[in-house]
Chains A and B, each alone.
Chain A
Amino acid sequence: MASRRIAPVRLDAQSIVKRFGGTAALAGVPLTLEPGRVHALVGENGAGKSTLLKIAGGLFPPDSGRMTLGDMPYAPPSTAAARRQGVALVFQELTISPTLSVAENIFIDALRRFAGRTGLISRRRMEDAAAALLARLELDIDPATEAERLDLGQMKCVEICRGLAADPAIVLLDEATAFLNHRESRVVLDAMDRLRKLDLAVCLVSHHLDEVFAVADDVTVLKDGTFVGRYHKGDIGPSKLHELMVGRDLARDLFPPRSAPPATSPILRVERALLERDALPFDLTLGSGEILGFAGLKRAGGDQVMEALAGDTPLYSGAILLDGRKRTLASPADAWKAGISYLPGDRTGQGLITQFSVSDNIAMAARPSRSGFYLQSAADALARDAMTVLAIKAEGLTTPVEALSGGNMQKVLLGKCLAVRPRVLLLSNPTRGVDLGARQEIYVALRNAAASGCAIILLSEDLPELIGLSDRIAVFKGNTLTAVFDAAQSVAESDIIAKMT
């Protein structure tokens, strides 16, 4: 295949506006990508980073604004059109088919290129072409290997190669390392370095500031859909960058006041916990009436501890003690029976049966019964209580949950967890995608549950929420506990981030 490399070119975007429904995802944002430089887009959840990247990649058009590629106007109607003009977008989600070979995955949308006169594909030509792309990233992967034998970092690199197959001048990476561990991320970051050396313009979206500082030359900071600033790496430090990202006072009154520090007696203890073979062991104690925050990146350790306490996935090793007695939580049913409620982060996939009614969902864990018969009236009473206490807005008890808003769904889910009067309540991102009003009502309900003696673990990606609600905060990184902050209300976000990354 003849090398028809597109000449290095810069991408310029001016005053990009994009609205989704009533909310402005982007309110007039610029972006400039230069050849031979890696550019990072940073900001909090909902700042508009991914939206901007996807507009540049042709996934959807901006509502207004102007983009140029070199000297030419640039308004790609689709990702395929963007690719033809030399802009390749690599999505956050892995789109590798595990049963196909690496070469087949790279050329999945261009298999025709290798078809001979008979219409059959020449494996050899395809694998040679794949090997050439892999070599550009200096990856040691055999193109004939089945993709499922790669680790996640290598898979991501194969996806980058798919983008490179069109010989782009500009590569856009949406949270390329979101699901990767440290070692796998390294492989991807190295690949970005290679792209820079090939004189490509690279743009990445990342939540991980350490990654940004490891690989990026320039940084654009977004906040709530607006442009905060553009900086060279040398001109800004991590803490300053973070301040720019958050850039607002915490809405303190969003969180209910803490009652007097509860005289906690320990309920739950995790001893010598090990999350993987080479991780460091740790201990953790939870007292009654306490809200313990779990901070950390995705799959950094907090999720795993919570899943172990929920009886879903056991610890690699270690002991779980309830009231000083060792407990085996072999299934979620064991955990619920021991008085541990679990509110999973995936509301509709793991938390609620959305076609079932409000009453059926709220009573699903408690399942009130007498001699094997389900007591519908008792279930309805539980549901009515929950609807009052949590201010759930639904037409009635028999309304299917799918007819409710996200915030009310989340309250139904919390209602289910509270209906069993748990001793320990495990919450995974309980206010994700929930509007401010419902959020506040959920916070009050959680505070009240704690005040009545319930011990709560709050795993959240939302640092202000962790600080505003928790009594103590445990920070996880690399599959172990790295720090526990007492007096959570006086902890600064930057202190937590320092321990997370």
Chain B
Amino acid sequence: MTELAPSQSRHRKTAQRRTATTLRAYFPILLLVAICVVFSLMSGRFLTVTNLFLVLQQSAVLLVTALGMTFVIVAGSIDLSVGSTVALAALAAAMASNGLGVLAVVPAILAGILAGALNGVLVAWGKVPSFIVTLGAMVVYRGVVLLFTKGAPVSILDEGFLDVFGGDTLGIPNAAILSLGAALLCHIALTRSVFGREVKAIGGGERVAELTGIRVPQVKLAMFAVAGMLAGLAGALQAARTMAATSQLGEGLELDAIAAVVVGGTPLTGGVGGVGGTVLGALIITILSNGMNMIGVDPYLQNIAKGAILVIAVFLTIDREKIGVIK
């Protein structure tokens, strides 16, 4: 029996981990390309400029929501309330649009920030796990929407608002421009700002971050507020697309957003990952629906396919040395 010296086994482990890291980095783009190849072989309408813009427009709400989720998951937390926050923000936009027009996006974003900040306070200072806080918040925020709408939709009639958030510029959907712009800003924030570095450090080791002088509660508050702000913007986009706020808007969106982040290669354990992967993840999830509709897959089978792809993606990319619980 041969035993590896400690240093040898460490090197081997490191090499294995590097391979895993490389796979994690390229998996989302490979998956996206594979899906596109399959769909374009099966449908001539798939690989067209029209459909590309359609996909970008369809993915905008999911992408913007998933951007906020990226910060939260990189920090090792989770936010289940973003779907309800989207509905809350859409309602704020719809109610304000008749008076404020385009500026109705401001109350939508403020509603999102408020909802996110409330989560953040409870997680950071109340020391309640984010899973629980945001699970409760998901129900509460949805309840607030129901309370205001009594289940009836609130229509948006203001053309200005609908044009800016639902229209297009030079043929490109404004929702696509806004969501990709937001993605760029988030990418810079996560990789280049001190805030982004602190979020990563908290996800990498919360106790280490704390003992290194990072103000963990404040960073968590800011992070949840950012997630809420982006859900607020997503709410405005969603409201413009449906031309109304309803109490069902954004239902299940939190799970799609988590799926987009995870399929994009950001593990739930935190510390690593990025916005680029989330963009790919959101596109993968949108294109799966778009393509399956196009080639006429039974809608009931679509959910099974989407769920299976999520699990397979995580199965292939997860770093099993660091499996932890969702904080």
Contacts and interface: CB of A to CB of B under 8 A. Distances in A.
Contacts of A165: none
B271 A350 contact: no
Contacts of A373: 192-194
Interface in A1-26: 21-22
A331 interface: yes
B10 A374 contact: no
B5 interface: yes
B197 A332 contact: no
Contact of B207 (A22, A331, A350, A364): A350
A403 B193 contact: no
B201 A331 contact: no
B299 interface: no
A45 B7 CA distance: 22
Contacts of B212: 332, 336, 364-365, 416
Kindly list the 5 A-B residue pairs having the minimum CB-CB distance in the complex, ordered from nearest: A336-B213, A353-B204, A353-B205, A333-B213, A403-B14
B44 interface: no
Contacts of B192: 373-374, 376
A355 B211 contact: no
Interface in A339-360: 342, 344, 349-353, 355-356, 360
A372 B204 CA distance: 21
A405 B210 CA distance: 24
B196 A374 contact: yes
Interface string A415-438: 010000000000000000000000
A322 to B, nearest CB: 16
Contacts of B215: 331, 333
B272 to A, nearest CB: 7
A256 B269 CA distance: 43
15 contacts: A21-B5, A310-B211, A335-B213, A337-B213, A344-B211, A350-B207, A353-B201, A356-B271, A360-B197, A364-B208, A364-B214, A365-B213, A373-B192, A373-B194, A374-B196
Contacts of B322: 355
B193 A351 contact: no
Interface in A381-409: 400, 402-403, 405
Nearest to B13: A402
B131 interface: no
Nearest to B205: A353
Contact of B271 (A332, A336, A349, A353): A353
A331 B215 CA distance: 8
B193 A355 contact: no
B6 interface: yes
B195 interface: yes
B211 A332 contact: yes
Contacts of A22: 5
B197 A21 contact: no
A242 interface: no
Task: Name the residue among B195, B201, B211 with the largest chain A CB count within 10 angstroms.
Answer: B211
A332 B210 CA distance: 7
B213 A332 contact: yes
A364 B17 CA distance: 23
A372 B208 contact: no
Contacts of B193: 372-374
Nearest to A402: B14
A342 B211 contact: yes
Nearest to A347: B208
B210 A351 contact: no
Nearest to B271: A355
A369 B198 CA distance: 12
A299 to B, nearest CB: 18
A233 interface: no
B211 A372 contact: no
A374 B211 contact: no
A478 B131 CA distance: 41
A367 interface: yes
A427 to B, nearest CB: 13
Nearest to A376: B192
B262 to A, nearest CB: 18
A374 B194 contact: yes
Contacts of A331: 210, 215
A271 interface: no
A353 B211 contact: no
A310 B211 CA distance: 8
A312 interface: yes
Interface in B1-59: 3, 5-7, 10-11, 14, 17
